[in-house]
Copies of this chain bind each other. A is one copy, B any other.
Amino acid sequence: MTTEQKQEYDVLGTRPIRHDGTDKVTGRAQYGADLQLPRMIHGAILRSPYAHAKIVSIDTSQAESLAGVHAVVTGADMPEVESRVANLGETSVDVDYLSQNVLARNKVFYKGHTVAAVAAENAHLAEEAARLIRVEYEPLPVVLNVQDAIRDDAVLLHERLKTQSLGLDSSEKPSNIAKYFLYEKGNLDEGFQNATVVVEREFRTATVHQGYIEPHNATALWNLDGHLTVWTSTQGAFMARDQLSDVLDLPVSRITVVPMEIGGGFGGKIAVYMQPLAALLSKKSGRPVKMLMDRASCFEATGPTPGSVIKVKMGADAEGKITAAKAELYYEAGAFPGSPVNPGCMCIFACYDFPHAKVEGYDVVVNKPRTNAYRAPGSTNAAFATETVIDELCEKLAIDPLVFRLKNAAKEGTRRVDGPQFSRIGMWETVDAIRQCDHAKSSKDARQPNIVDGMEYAYGRGVASGFWFNAGLRSSVTATVRPDGTVSLVEGSTDIGGTRTSIAMQLAETLGIAAEDVQPTVADTDGVGYTDVTGGSRTTYATGWAAYEAAKDIVRQLIERAAEIWETDPENITYNNGTVCGPDNRSLSFKEFAKKLNKTGGPITGRGVSDHNEPGGAFATHLVDVAVDQETGKVEIVRYTAAQDVGKAIHPAYVEGQMQGGVVQGIGWALNEEYIYDEQGAMQNPTFLDYRMPTCLDVPMIETLIVEVANPGHPYGVRGAGEVPIVPPPAAIANAIYNAVGIRMTELPMSPPRLLHEMSK
């Protein structure tokens, strides 16, 4: 592997202003909803009022005859597609289920499931027309949690669904368990026999939503030549293209996806929802069709993260070494298979190095929206269980939780329960960073008076670690040298967290030029090579690597050109730190050389592709102090410090931003966020008023400790940094609450009523 890792960089590790900053702060950046096309019409969706029902009939005639209505589509308009697994980057999806999720055919599987879509002159008219569609339903009993779903007498969602295990149908009859995963290492019995203490607990987590600020959107134009163009905010234009290709049964070359700016995704903007509907409506109407989703539909009909039930049993010896651990994870897939239970299984014990383990995972369908990725999908649920159990083990052994983690930290060579062996990783270093930080050294008691404004608070401190394996996958870029010595960079990664800049910086570092001298552009699917989603914490790692390759390709050509100009062999030319050097002390800076290119053989364009899968595991250890309001059960986050191994922080400000953002989402998940359902499977709180996410008033400044243990699997040592910070918060906060009020919370969210209920027992 080519690697250019070094101690000091010129560009990497600095904090240049982001290239797209002005557009975003001045409102010029074009998000999906901003798009206007000539003769554009507007779509609306009719959604199921039932969480589980047969569709007996659909009558669209009244809607179609309403003046100003251009097209109506129902399940009958969707091409029949074969059941087949398609890759979605970190996750995958069965194409037939994806198609049914986009538009219900014979059954609806959750409240909010799309039953029909309408396009009309304006959005209001389209909504009115949607209400004129008459659907006859035959309601069915609903299944809303894994316990009910896996009962022998459970109502089945899908007649054709049999449990898959190791890729084979392992159940004889249909089941709501879509998949079963099993990972083992060592000998569990032996392990528990060696334990001095054993803790076994069961945990529950609620369904939570990514809560991206920008709702879903899609505008489609199905041209008369059969070419489909879709403008949408998405985490991956190519993946949106490929899903459209799958569900519409079109070759990828007939589809162009133009990624708009994206107002948050966190894993929730990978799957397609309205894109195929807008496409079909455009095909029928011959007009560009724009569809915008409202917030309630975002909650009810896109992909939140699964609610889960997790059992963990763990033993440790008197020295504080883990001897064995066992876990069962039940994740709600939602209406169609595909929860992140497998990543949950892979992550649940990944922070620790111990010999005996068994992990079982169940992907269970229930009558809720089909879940999708949410920042380190599956790992937060799992860490809540493991890290709370460890805290209890530490208590029983009277060992400091940080010391315990240092003793057991996974390290280079540790083999995960699911098989892979770690290369150089920084788990130990994140614990050590927390141990040495100001926050850890501060007194727990000296922080604040116990009574503030007449209310009595209990203070506690908690710690937890977390793991995310990160993704590698494929990225493509091209880069062209311009005559003023700047470089235009064309990339396929949509920019959610500042990756235009973190990728440009790697190109700049490799060329030995300034970050500001690289100007990045995110292209559509025709303008650049295949690039996987912005997800899996892969973008700075993989697209950055592609940029590094493009820079190398530019350097190769610069050297050849210099050899031509100076009439020598390329071997006599070197390129170092932005300077081309030739024989007889001849040298030219990159900028000087750039000026000459157009007159000495033409411009130079470099291409770079990356397809590497050594993204380096990401580890985080968090420390939190909480104040529990004794009267209301409300938990205040008093101080929060997050340490994380990011390999190499390309742009430390964005790494800090990712860490802080992940922590805040983890705090919301820990304390307040949850889908509240009634017995018929109707979500009771599908608004930001009732679904309570943290605001800036709810959290203190999150302190960050960037740990840099270079990833040997990247030329600049980069590891993905975006996801793992969401993993530790719920467990860290649960441990702090225990520390404050002596109650072990085993269910998320640890909301005031729930905590008050436990405290009043």
Contacts and interface: CB of A to CB of B under 8 A. Distances in A.
A684 interface: no
Contacts of A482: 252-253, 530
A195 interface: no
Number of copies: 2
Nearest to A518: B253
A477 to B, nearest CB: 8
Interface in A499-557: 517, 519, 521, 523, 525-530, 553
A323 interface: no
Contacts of A26: 223-224
Interface range on chain A: under 10, 10 to 19, 20 to 34, or 35 or more? Answer: 35 or more
Interface string A312-342: 0000000000000000000000000000000
A42 interface: no
Contact of A253 (B221, B484, B604, B607): B484
A413 interface: no
Interface string A260-281: 0000000000000000000000
A420 interface: no
Interface in A563-613: 598, 601-607, 609-611
Query: Most B CB atoms within 10 A — which of A28, A553, A605?
Result: A605
B598 A602 contact: no
A486 interface: yes
Nearest to A38: B34
B607 A519 contact: no
A235 interface: no
Contacts of A251: 484, 486
A476 to B, nearest CB: 5
A722 to B, nearest CB: 21
Given A21-B225, A223-B22, A480 B529 contact: yes
A548 to B, nearest CB: 14
A483 interface: yes
A371 interface: no
A634 to B, nearest CB: 42
A367 interface: no
B38 A478 contact: no
A484 B604 contact: no
Contact of A528 (B28, B225, B480, B519): B480
B603 A605 contact: no
A17 to B, nearest CB: 8
B224 A603 contact: no
Interface in A215-231: 221, 223-225, 227
A601 B611 contact: yes
Contacts of A517: 253
A394 B523 CA distance: 61
A485 to B, nearest CB: 8
A423 interface: no
Nearest to A554: B607
Contact of A224 (B22, B252, B475): B22
A16 to B, nearest CB: 13
A529 B252 contact: no
Nearest to A23: B223
B607 A483 contact: no
Given A38-B34, A483-B530, A490-B527, A604 B609 contact: yes
B605 A529 contact: yes
Contact of A530 (B23, B528, B602): B602
A15 B488 CA distance: 35
Contacts of A611: 598, 601-602
A474 interface: yes
A193 interface: no
A1 to B, nearest CB: 13
Contact of A480 (B28, B223, B530): B530
A28 B604 CA distance: 34
A34 B38 CA distance: 8
Query: Most B CB atoms within 10 A — which of A26, A223, A529, A601?
Result: A529
Contacts of A21: 225
Contact of A609 (B253, B486, B529, B603): B603
A147 interface: no
A521 B490 CA distance: 14
Contact of A478 (B481, B483, B486, B607): B607
A36 interface: yes
Nearest to A611: B602
A34 B36 CA distance: 11
A449 B584 CA distance: 81
Given A526-B519, A530-B480, A602 B609 contact: yes
A682 to B, nearest CB: 38
Given A251-B486, A252-B483, A527 B519 contact: no
A521 B251 CA distance: 18
Contacts of A604: 529, 609
Interface in A5-24: 21-23
A607 B606 contact: yes
A677 to B, nearest CB: 40
Contacts of A36: 36, 38
Nearest to A30: B38
A483 B530 CA distance: 9
A591 to B, nearest CB: 11
Contacts of A483: 252, 530
Interface in A127-186: none
Contacts of A601: 609, 611
A26 B253 CA distance: 21
Given A253-B486, A603-B609, A523 B529 contact: no
Query: Most B CB atoms within 10 A — which of A28, A527, A603?
Result: A603
Contacts of A598: 474, 530, 611
Nearest to A609: B602
A521 B258 CA distance: 13
Given A23-B223, A253-B484, A517-B253, A476 B603 contact: yes
19 contacts: A22-B227, A23-B225, A26-B223, A36-B38, A251-B484, A251-B486, A253-B486, A253-B517, A475-B602, A476-B602, A478-B478, A480-B529, A482-B530, A488-B527, A490-B490, A528-B605, A602-B610, A603-B609, A605-B607
Given A22-B223, A475-B602, 6 more contacts: A22-B224, A478-B607, A482-B530, A490-B526, A530-B598, A606-B607
Interface of A: 21-23, 26, 28, 34, 36, 38, 221, 223-225, 227, 251-253, 474-476, 478, 480-484, 486, 488, 490, 517, 519, 521, 523, 525-530, 553, 598, 601-607, 609-611
What are the 7 tightest A-B residue pairs by CB atom distance, in nearest-first order? Answer: A602-B611, A22-B225, A253-B486, A530-B603, A480-B529, A529-B605, A529-B603
